[in-house]
Structure 1
Amino acid sequence: MRQATGTYGGRSAQERRAERRERFLRAALEQFGDRPGYRASSVTGLCEAAGLSTRQFYEEFRNLEDVLTQLHLLVNDRTEQAVLRALADTAGRAFEPRIAAVLRAYVTAATDDPRRLRIAFVEIIGVSAELERGRLVRRRRWVDLIVAEAEAAVRRGEAAPRDYRIAATAFIGAVNGLLHDWTAEQFRATLDQVVDELVALLLGVVRPPAR
């Protein structure tokens, strides 16, 4: 199918398509991340929420799973950028204040919008083998970051040398579970309390108390 390439209303065809795609993604963030949820959504309902046609939908996406995949990538990219800024801001600092800044950036970015949190930790689970592979790829990137920071602490003499991959994987699982339960109001805590608890947990992994 040939795509229009001219301008209309002062905007190029590429700009109009980018705007339509953004409208679909905004509508999907609302529907998948709140009500009715991904599994109860439909292409027709999403198009109605976006104010666009099903023809326009299929010009941008293959199906609803494709939309969910794109949202998952965007949510993770947003959180990752916040963490990378924290890493840049704390370059050269010791492990404890550095990891505290990183965890605060992660928690703040991951929980500032309950819809994004639901997409990252709930709606993405069990949809398909392809989405699960993508989720695990992203999870490995977070594990790699923790391992890299732990190994840097070893080189600075702040931690004992060992293989930190299993511990980092367990820590990432604990982070995800804690944030999900916190935002679901399974317990009451401030942002500072959540960050402090995660910092203490990670320090316990990297610098366990002597027996």
Structure 2
Amino acid sequence: MARIASATGRYGGRSASERHAERRSRLREAGLDLFGAGPGYRNSRLVDVCKQAGLSTRQFYEEYDTLEDLLADLHLYVNDLVEQHVVEVVPQVDDRPPLERAMGLFRTYIDAVTRDPRHTRISFVEIVGVSPRLDQQRLERRARWITLIGDLLADGAARGDIEPRDFRLTAAALVGSINGLMHDWAVGWVDATIDEVTAELLRMLLGGLQISPDDATFGLGPQSSA
């Protein structure tokens, strides 16, 4: 279905761009509630989203062509938010020792992607296997994360913190592990706290980089005295 053109000009004291932004915000929030906390994408109907958002189907079609378009938009929206959090922290940990820098960035990522459980479910569960188009989108965002992680690891090698090599394989293995474990954790297949999940993924990353901190480093073992 072709998207309905939205009206231009001011209406009710708001510009067309302001009305567009409000509609999209309300539809995103409705999608997060239904796909990420309610029945899920596959069990939601367009009328359910419109009712949740307090908008008409016509107003929906002014923003999206299909319900899948809303899910695709939410997937990119959540990924962009998480990436922004990570990128903003990079300069804040730039002068820290390599272990602290790696752990700081990794924990920032996990905190950002799990802060809102709806975001976790959208990122790791609802987006999987919907259509070839969304599978491609998911792979493209995965490649973007692999590139970002690879660049950060290469920067660490340039500093002399770790041995230089082609870090793409390391980054791909880490991203694959994150996606798999976070999916299983989000659907309840893994009985663990998010701190335990984070620690396990950190061990995997640091092991690949041949850095071997003890469990106390992750807050899971005996705590050192102040």
For residues 15 and 211 of structure 2, the distance between their equivalents in structure 1, rounded to whole angstroms, comes to 59
Residue correspondence of structure 1 range 61-210 to structure 2 within 5 A: 61-185=64-188, 186-189=190-193, 191=195, 193-207=196-210
Q: Deviations over 1:26-59 (max 9, x none)?
A: 1111111122110111111111111111111111
- State the TM-score, normalized to the length of structure 2: 0.84
Give yes or no for contact 2:114–2:120 (8 Å, CA) kept in 1: yes
Give yes or no for contact 2:64–2:70 (8 Å, CA) kept in 1: yes
Map of 2:216 onto structure 1: none
Q: What residue identity is the alignment partner of 2:39?
A: P
Q: What residue identity is the alignment partner of 1:5?
A: T
The reply to whether residue 18 of structure 1 matches residue 25 of structure 2 is no
Please list every run of 5 or more consecutive structure 2 residues that lacks an aligned counterpart in the other structure. Answer: 213-226
For residues 106 and 161 of structure 1, the distance between their equivalents in structure 2, rounded to whole angstroms, comes to 24
For residues 61 and 92 of structure 2, the distance between their equivalents in structure 1, rounded to whole angstroms, comes to 42
For residues 162 and 4 of structure 1, the distance between their equivalents in structure 2, rounded to whole angstroms, comes to 55
For residues 88 and 208 of structure 1, the distance between their equivalents in structure 2, rounded to whole angstroms, comes to 22
Q: CA deviation at 1:161?
A: 2.4
Q: Deviations over 1:45-103 (max 9, x none)?
A: 11111111111111110101110011001100111011111112112333211111111
For residues 112 and 174 of structure 1, the distance between their equivalents in structure 2, rounded to whole angstroms, comes to 20
3-state secondary structure, aligned to 2:128: coil
Q: What residue identity is the alignment partner of 1:125?
A: V
Give yes or no for contact 2:5–2:62 (8 Å, CA) kept in 1: no
Give yes or no for contact 1:181–1:187 (8 Å, CA) kept in 2: no
Map of 2:219 onto structure 1: none
Q: What residue identity is the alignment partner of 1:149?
A: L
Would the alpha carbon gap of residues 7 and 86 (structure 1) be closer, same or farther in structure 2, given more than 3 Å must change? Answer: same
3-state secondary structure, aligned to 1:7: coil
Give yes or no for contact 2:125–2:187 (8 Å, CA) kept in 1: no
Q: CA deviation at 1:110?
A: 0.6
For residues 76 and 2 of structure 1, the distance between their equivalents in structure 2, rounded to whole angstroms, comes to 28
Please list every run of 5 or more consecutive structure 1 residues that lacks an aligned counterpart in the other structure. Answer: none
- RMSD after superposition: 1.9
Equivalent pairs counted in the alignment come to 208
For residues 77 and 53 of structure 2, the distance between their equivalents in structure 1, rounded to whole angstroms, comes to 18
- 146-155 vs 177-186, which moves further: 177-186
- State the TM-score, normalized to the length of structure 1: 0.90
